[in-house]
Chain A
Amino acid sequence: EIVLTQSPGTLSLSPGERATLSCRTSQRVSSSYLAWYQQKPGQAPRFLIYGASRRATGIPDRFSGSGSGTDFTLTISRLEPEDFAVYYCQQYGDSPTWTFGQGTKVEIK
């Protein structure tokens, strides 16, 4: 089973700053199989990025994804007030199966 480890656990930043979130997988995965979600308190997750770098419909271009192999990154170029939330990475496996990372909380400094 592939394990996804996200870091840091919490990121304290101010609006306008750049956020860099990491997702490391315990084995190499295809970049086509890596997605990111945003979740705000009391809400369902929101589909952000798929295929490691492709923005989902309606996602602002301040969100970008990158990476390959075992290291993937979600970058928010300039934080808006509505971007403070928890972010999860997700990997797709055979059968099919999906696995989530434990999440990174982006909080207001």
Chain B
Amino acid sequence: QVQLVQSGVEVKKPGASVMVSCKASGYTFTTYGLSWVRQAPGQGLEWMGWISTYNHKTNYAQKVQGRVTMTTDTSTSTAYMELRSLRSDDTAVYYCARVAWEPADGFDFWGQGTLVIVSS
């Protein structure tokens, strides 16, 4: 069965960086793209970016462009999302999500989420 298992809670100070991992299993990793979505406390879902697990091409949302880097390690079927220059409004649950075979269909499987707290 498809599973996306994310790394644990992170607490960071403003200005620091955080890296969240997402380990995939149950399917061929390089066949499906991955997206990252975040959700601030009590707020809605915000798409952050996408990475092709096949050729490592990326596309980032304008809001985080310049601060975010998404990568993958195909040898371990793991995706990573690094966010730099953290601010208090980056406090959120960060999700990785598998992009469906047809990308227009959406995100068919999700990780359990990783809480990132940014606080001095």
A residues apposed to B, CB below 8 Å? 30, 32-33, 35, 37, 39, 44-47, 50-51, 56, 88, 90, 92, 95-103
Contact = CB atoms under 8 A, between A and B. Distances in A.
A88 B106 CA distance: 12
Interface of B: 35, 37, 44-47, 50, 59, 61, 95, 97, 99-100, 103-113
Given A44-B111, A51-B105, A103-B44, 10 more contacts: A44-B95, A44-B110, A45-B45, A47-B100, A50-B105, A90-B107, A97-B47, A99-B47, A100-B46, A102-B44
Q: Shortest 8 CB-CB distances between A and B: which pairs?
A: A35-B106, A44-B110, A50-B105, A92-B104, A100-B45, A98-B47, A103-B44, A33-B104
Contact of A98 (B106, B110, B111): B106
B50 to A, nearest CB: 6
A80 to B, nearest CB: 22
Nearest to B95: A44
Contact of A97 (B45, B61, B107): B61
Contacts of B109: 47
Contact of B104 (A32, A44, A47, A103): A32
B69 to A, nearest CB: 17
Contacts of B61: 97
- Most-contacted residue by chain B among A37, A45, A56, A98 (CB, 10 A): A98
Nearest to A44: B110
A98 B104 CA distance: 9
